[in-house]
Every structure is written in structure tokens, then in C-alpha cells.
Structure 1
């Protein structure tokens, strides 16, 4: 399957949950009620799902049909296990390289980052279960198929992945403007995980507090920041340059 499947109707979404499908996002009509909806809520209460409560007009735009107030996006990819991917990376001859995306919003930025990451030999990309861009057909298309070649890992919070990386001997770098240290002064030829932040808000303050090092790119023009996928490419290729 190479693009996102959209399902709708309460019973269809319940069946997807029962069959352990990788559900990327669930849209629920505001104010929804009824016996069947209560059954859906019971199924949702047992797991971590990325849900949005939206007006019925939003659902009407998403699908043509009797959605019963519920629409879900089934991810086109299966997600990998953090511990398994990190262990595999440590057993390779090359130094581990991971990307941690702290609530990247835009699906095309997400796809472009995945494409660059695959070109740079990244071992895995970590995203949060909630708050980030869903894996959509646009993500798949923008990644040029790279999304099927690189492990994607979902965690409850990016901090969970950071602590695990650090415990595994992988140094965690944050790409942030909130530092005076330039990227080019850093030693990137070591086991490394790079954190990239949200397009507007950047990296969460709670995440910045626990990283090992921070670095930024020099900005010579009048615009204060780069597009996140461009910045990510610049950081990753400096890693590649130092490791060649």
C-alpha cells in the first residue's frame, strides 16, 4: 500500500482498531453521542490515538458518504520499535545516526525530511504519537518512496526517545537558534541523534533542557530562519561531510 487509506463510519473505525491497523489520525465530530459512539470511545480508551474533534463541515470535506461523525486515516507504513532499531544501528560498522522530529506539522516538510534522511544514511526517524504531521499520501509522494526504506518510530514523547538514545551512548544534538554555537564547530563524527523542531515554535523547551548539545546554522540574510526541511538537510549533510 503506497498511500493513506481513509475509512469512515463508527463501525469501520472500531474494526480497524480491533484488527490493530496503524491508525494515523482520527477525526471525530464535536458533540457526537449515541450508543455506537460510546462503544468507539471504549475502544479508544485503551490506546494512544491522535484525535481531533472537528465540525461536521470538516468531515464532509474529508469524505463523500455517511461518515456518522467519524473519519480515520490508516497509515501507509508500519512503525518500527525504538529499541530494536537502536540495537540494530549499534551493531553496524557505521556510527548510528537518528532524526527526532519534535512535532513537525507540515506533511510535505515531513516527506522532504524523510527523503533527505534516507540519502544521508539515517538509521531511523522518531516522531510523537500525538501532535505531529500524519503520514499521508502527500508525505509518501514528497519522500519519493524513501518512507518505505527507512524505519519510522512512534513514541509517546520525544523525551522518551532522547533518554533511551543517551542511555545507549548516542549523543543528542538540537538544531536550534537558541544557542551561540554554530553547527560547523561541533564534532558530528560520533553516534548521533539530531532533534528538529516545529516549523513555528521550534523545539519544545522541555526537550531543549535534556539534549546534550545545541547548534545553529549561520543566517546571513534578513529572514531569521530556514524552512525546517532545508535546515535538516544542511545539518545532515554536515554530518555526512565529517564522516566521509
Structure 2
């Protein structure tokens, strides 16, 4: 953790990866505080205001009402990932986590994505599980090997992917096509949503299509990380068969 305005600013200016910044409610506005907000916004770092009592847990540290969590993940630029993948003559396979808040699920998805050879995991800067030490552990270290891209808006990212020739398919229990009947061999971004809410309506509308894993039992849905594994390995099977 980094405590205080000046150390946090130095970390930002040095290009350190920060998972999030916590600020005390009622801080006096200043030019430096405005600069902190601007840099955090540009880099997609979540900034959260909390009541003064939250800082009581920090004891006597000189935090000035400001704390930043260092990230164990080195985030990468999505556009560069797409370009470099095409330049290597590879077919992009990307995994998009839309509002998945359970750290164990995001870790398990990252692990499967890395094992199947996906080129990147895309996560939103807000409304998602924090990719800290717990996620890294749950992923069995996969988050240290797969490229992770943090974006401000999943819906806008869908448009960016489509503009770069990547087909976007959203997984949903109400999907239009069973995953084994969908062509998964081309440039692909698979969107996975929270287990309770699913993929957001905005993203579903923007996607090029929807797919589902068939359910024959009494339980209406699969764990999202299990569904991710089933679909990703079907994509891998189809690609190997085509090669």
C-alpha cells in the first residue's frame, strides 16, 4: 500500500500499477488532488471515497486521508494486444469479464483462459472483482502470464473490438445458439457476465451474437467459470480441427 498524496502521485508518475485509490470523504480540493483524479481516470484506476472512520484501521500512519493499493498485475493496452496478435499471424481469442465480482470466479476464468491460449483477459475498471493477491492465488499464477487489459467501459470496448475485426459473442443461458453449433474459429472475444445478472443488456445488444451451454438438469445455470471453460475449450477444439 502507498500512503499520502505525494507518495501516491510519485507512484502514478513513475508508472506503477495501482489497483485502486481510496480517498477520505471531505478532502479539501487542490490542484494536486485534481491531477490525481485526472491521471487515475486516464489510466482506468478506480477512485473511491470512504468515510473518515475507514482510515482508523491504518493506525498512526501518515496517510493524509489517501491510500493506494499496488497492483500485482501489469495491465496492458488492448489495442496493442490486438495489433501484435494479428502481426504474428495468430487468430485473436479474447475473454471479456463483464461485471464478475467474485474473485474466485475471475481467478478461475483467468486460469482457464491462460491454459487454452487466450491472448488477453479484459476487465472493467469498476464493478468487477479486484485483481489483487487473492485473484492471483486463485488463478494459480495465470494472471501473471496472460495479458490483462483494464478498460473504462465494456460496451465501448465491444465496439473497439468489432472495429478491429474481432467478433464479439456473449455467453447467456438464454443464448440463441448452442456453443458447439457456433463457429468459434475466427477472431473472437467471448463475453462472460456475473452469475446473478449475466451479461449487461447494453453489451448483449452490442454483441454480434449470443451462445449458450445446454442445460439438461434441474439447475438452471452453470457457474460462470465452468461455462467459460466449456466454451473456451470448444473454441480450442474447433481451431485445432481447422488448422
TM-score range, shorter chain: 0.7 to 0.9
| Corresponding position: 1:236 with 2:227 | no
Call closer, same or farther: CA 1:65–1:195 in 2, change over 3 Å. Answer: farther
Give the deviation of 1:201 after TM superposition. Answer: 1.6
Could you tell me how far 1:39 is from its partner in structure 2? 4.9
Query: Is 1:42 paired with 2:37?
Result: no
Map of 2:177 onto structure 1: 181
Instruction: Please give the per-residue CA displacement for 1:141-171, whole angstroms capped at 9, x wherever unaligned.
Output: 1122211211111222112322222122221
**Residue matched to 2:85:** 89
Q: Secondary structure at the match of 1:232?
A: helix
- Helix, strand or coil for the counterpart of 1:127? strand
Contact 1:98 1:194 in 2 (8 A): yes
Residue 79 of structure 1 is matched in structure 2 by 75
- Please point out which of 16, 23, 33 is paired with 2:27: 33
Q: Is the 8 A contact 1:105 1:199 kept in 2?
A: no
1:123 CA displacement: 0.7
Q: 1:72: Cα distance to partner?
A: 1.4
Normalising by structure 1, we get a TM-score of 0.87
Asked if structure 1 preserves the Cα contact closer than 8 Å seen for 2:121 and 2:147, the reply is yes
Unaligned runs of 5+ in 1: 1-5
2:14 aligned residue: 19
Paired with 1:65 and 1:198, the residues of 2 have a C-alpha distance of 39
Which residue is 1:140 aligned to?
Answer: 136
Aligned residue for 1:3?
none
Aligned counterpart for 1:203 among listed residues 199, 213, 216: 199
State the 1:64 CA deviation.
Answer: 4.6
Alignment correspondent of 1:68: 64
Do 1:126 and 1:161's aligned partners in 2 also have CA atoms closer than 8 Å?
Answer: no
CA drift at 1:65: 4.1
Q: Which has the higher helix share?
A: 2
Whether contact under 8 Å (2:19, 2:68) holds in the other structure is: yes
Distance 1:59-1:199 versus aligned 2 partners, 3 A rule:
farther
Q: Which runs of 4+ in 1 moved over 4 A?
A: none
- C-alpha contact 1:23 1:75 (8 A) present in aligned 2: yes
Q: Evaluate the alpha carbon distance shift between residue 185 and residue 74 of structure 1 in structure 2; reply closer, same or farther with a 3 A threshold.
A: same
Identify the residue that residue 113 of structure 2 maps to in structure 1: 117
Aligned partner of residue 45 in structure 1, secondary structure: helix
Aligned to 1:151: 147
Shift of 1:221: 2.7
- Contact 2:2/2:8 (8 A) holds in 1: yes
Distance in 2 of aligned mates of 1:109 and 1:130: 16
Partners of 1:21 and 1:218 lie apart in 2 by: 43
RMSD: 2.0
